[in-house]
Amino acid sequence: MKTISINPRTCTQCGICIEICPTGLIIQSNEGIPVMPDEVGNFCSKCGNCEAFCPESAISPVFDTKHADTPKENIADIMPGQLGTYMQQRRSIRNYKNRKVDRALIEEMLDIVRYSPSGMNNQPVRWLVVHDPEKVRKLTRLTMDWMRDIRDGDNMHPLKPMVPALIAAYEAGKDPICRGAPHVAIAYAAEANPMAFTDSIIALSWFELAAPAFGLGACWAGFLKIAASEYQPLIQELDLPNGHVLQYSMMFGYPKYKEQNIPGREPSRITWK
């Protein structure tokens, strides 16, 4: 299978693509031009690093793929301090404005997130965006039903000691599950893929990190994740495609409050050898 094409007119035979290919599939041909033999093409992870690092832009994919819209000249250097502040300012957002986020904006964020790394460049993550706030409220409601079952049941669920307080908060009019957020993003993937969970966590981390740049805030929805992985009514409500399972969930929307300070954290624990 052919996955890349190398333009012999623009290739300068610098050898960077040969060095950079993670699986060593690109070799020097007798004529000097690098080549990925068709018979090893099946092993190509389609990571595009040969294309990305080619100084002459001589390499292009011949498989179906969607490039980023980012024009080259717009790529600015980000100073470490700026990036550090941006990342350290990220907070879990648990209070939201009563305002929906346009689908186009969510699509723009997910268009960035599709560049997050994945094992062997498998790109297994699919998205279910619960955009209708009423449906988000239903997810909370069903999670509370699941918690009542845990509270009333005989089995020793690990969350049993915690659920009475959450039920009480819900019954007092609060939303301890989706925090009144208008939307929930659910990363899901094929059940059979053993790396999909890690890839989904990375993708959601990107989503959460990208959110403030779009004026948005997000928060991991951990209780929803656990409930939606084991409670049939929630599994049915999400109705993911056959053979696919929820990997993790995240609430998001426009933050009601703006963070003013950066709180402290444990110092880095580093061992050097």
Ligand X SMILES: Cc1cc2nc3c(=O)[nH]c(=O)nc-3n(C[C@H](O)[C@H](O)[C@H](O)COP(=O)(O)O)c2cc1C
Q: Which of these ranges, 16-24, 86-94, 103-111, 164-172, lies near ligand X under the rule CB under 6 A?
A: 86-94
Toward ligand X, which CB reaches closer, 6 or 177? 177
223 scored as a contact of ligand X (CB under 6 A): yes
- Answer positive or negative: Cα dihedral of 185, 187, 188, 189: positive
Six token digits for residue 167: 């039920």
- Please, what is the minimum distance in Å from the beta carbon of residue 72 to ligand X? 34
Q: Which of these ranges, 43-51, 96-104, 142-150, 213-221, lies near ligand X under the rule CB under 6 A?
A: 213-221
84 scored as a contact of ligand X (CB under 6 A): no
Beta bridge partners of 129: 185
Residue 163's SS3 state is: helix
Cα distance between residue 86 and residue 88, in whole Å: 6
91 scored as a contact of ligand X (CB under 6 A): yes
Toward ligand X, which CB reaches closer, 54 or 179? 179
Q: Which of these ranges, 41-49, 58-66, 91-99, 146-154, lies near ligand X under the rule CB under 6 A?
A: 91-99
Among 219, 228, 234, 246, binds ligand X (CB under 6 A): 219
163 scored as a contact of ligand X (CB under 6 A): no
Cα distance between residue 89 and residue 107, in whole Å: 23
170 scored as a contact of ligand X (CB under 6 A): no
Cβ(3)–Cβ(61) below 8 Å = yes
Region of 247 (left: φ > 0; alpha: ψ -120 to 50; beta: rest) is alpha
Q: Which of these ranges, 33-41, 60-68, 107-115, 215-223, lies near ligand X under the rule CB under 6 A?
A: 215-223
Six token digits for residue 227: 């409930």
The amino acid occupying position 106 is: I
Q: Which residues contact ligand X by CB under 6 A?
A: 91-92, 94, 219-223
